[in-house]
Amino acid sequence: MTLALTRASTMGPVVEAVEEAGGSARRLFRDADLPIALLERPDAIILLKDQFRLVERAARLIGDDALPARLSLRAGLDGLGPYGRRILSFPDLGAALSLAYLEYGRLLQAATLTELRFRDGMAVWSYEITAPLTLGRQKNELLALGYMLTLVRKFAGPRWCPGHIEIPGSLAGKAQIEQAFRSEIHVGPKAALVFPVSWLECPAPDVPPVEDRSIDVPAEDDLPEVVRLMIGLERDAGRFGVAAVAARLGMTRRTLQRKLSRSGRTFSALSTESDLDASKDMLSSGRSVTETAIRLGYQDVAHFSRAFCRWTGAPPSLWRRSI
């Protein structure tokens, strides 16, 4: 089971597309086993397999094979979060595509390889998932290709189109996807945009710098950090404890605890860290002490207040007034 992670920034456009087609966002998230509260946190980090499943279920729910292509084109640069902003910081398109891949895993999505190659006088910018995931894989490739088109069009102009697009395997809804991308699609070894090399000289657009406070996407072998993030995800779903997180990660409770022990951490300590971070975020954003306690799974506000005081040295009401 892969523990590769990705940002949840596509969630909003997924819901908009489903609801416009008459579908139910709540049903979609329930079927994908994800908390709908993710819509409040577009920069949240989730398992890559969960995003695959969500996009696959959304396309099936509304019967639209071209949905992933439309989603990424619709989300635009915002759907790429800090990675999109980073790629625009390079002086030209060639530098962006040649170098930004070095930060792809940290800024956007793990277990992913992007590469700029050259073939018969054409530039080939490819995308490949290295994790052993099958469900929703091609839908994810279409999603990525839409984002890749969006990025190139930031340099080359909104009407830019590649010579053609490549994608592995047969493609359902090909005509609709070609229409969405405004490009022919050919079978190829990897998902890729293929275009004349001269476009690599396009200068970067003039965009104002934006302060980025997003946390990095952890590597999939950083089990304690993966677990800490999944504790927050399960909390959003109203589920608490090691069993819920272990199930999300495809492990037994005992296996998860044993692997954490090998890394020198415990589930209890990680849960406390996650609760502290979440409580500070909620209180500083204006949520009441009572609401914060409930969302953290405490039945008794006094119990939460005592725990918060133990963590920080001050009761939550006093801590909030001090910030």
Annotation: CATH topology of 5-201: H-NOX domain (3.90.1520)
Q: Which amino acid is at 315?
A: P
226 with 220: CB under 8 angstroms? Answer: yes
Name, in order, each residue with C-beta under 8 angstroms of 174's C-beta and a sequence gap of 6 or more: 185
Is residue 104's pLDDT more than 90? no
Separation CA 113–CA 106 (nearest Å): 12
Nearest alpha-carbon partner for 288 in 323, 322, 313, 316: 316
pLDDT at 230: 97
pLDDT category at 212 given cuts 50, 70, 90 is low
DSSP string, 188-234: -SSEEEEEEGGGGGPBPP--------PPPPPPTT-HHHHHHHHHHHH
This prediction has a pTM of 0.91
Residue 203's DSSP bridge partners are 92
Helix (H) or strand (E) holding 80: none
Please state the φ and ψ torsions of residue 162, each to the nearest 5 degrees.
-75, 170
Is residue 239's pLDDT more than 80? yes
Per-residue pLDDT, averaged over 8-16, amounts to 90
Per-residue pLDDT, averaged over 70-99, amounts to 92
Residue 196's DSSP bridge partners are 122
pLDDT at 210: 63
83 with 108: CB under 8 angstroms? Answer: yes
pLDDT at 323: 81
Cα distances (Å, whole numbers) of residue 323 to 95, 280, 303, 319 = 42, 10, 22, 7
* Helix (H/G/I), strand (E/B), else coil: 1: coil
231 with 271: CB under 8 angstroms? Answer: yes
pLDDT at 211: 65
- Looking at every residue in the chain, the average pLDDT score rounds to 94
Is residue 207's pLDDT more than 90? no
pLDDT tens readout for residues 124-154: 999 999 999 999 999 999 999 999 999 999 9
Task: Give residue limits of the domains in the chain.
Answer: 5-201, 223-322
Per-residue pLDDT, averaged over 236-248, amounts to 96
Nearest alpha-carbon partner for 72 in 167, 148, 175, 182: 148
To the question of domain 223-322 being in CATH 3.30.1360.70, the answer is: no
Per-residue pLDDT, averaged over 156-162, amounts to 97
Separation CA 81–CA 286 (nearest Å): 25
Cα distances (Å, whole numbers) of residue 25 to 21, 57, 179 = 11, 11, 26
Range of lowest pLDDT (75-89, 145-159, 263-277): 75-89
pLDDT at 181: 98
* Helix (H/G/I), strand (E/B), else coil: 28: helix
Percent of the chain with pLDDT over 70: 98
Percent of the chain with pLDDT over 90: 85
pLDDT at 209: 66
pLDDT at 42: 79
pLDDT category at 4 given cuts 50, 70, 90 is very high
pLDDT category at 208 given cuts 50, 70, 90 is confident
Cα distances (Å, whole numbers) of residue 42 to 211, 278, 282, 292 = 17, 15, 16, 20
pLDDT at 302: 96
Nearest alpha-carbon partner for 93 in 215, 224, 198: 198
pLDDT at 136: 92
pLDDT at 1: 67
Helix (H) or strand (E) holding 68: helix 67-75
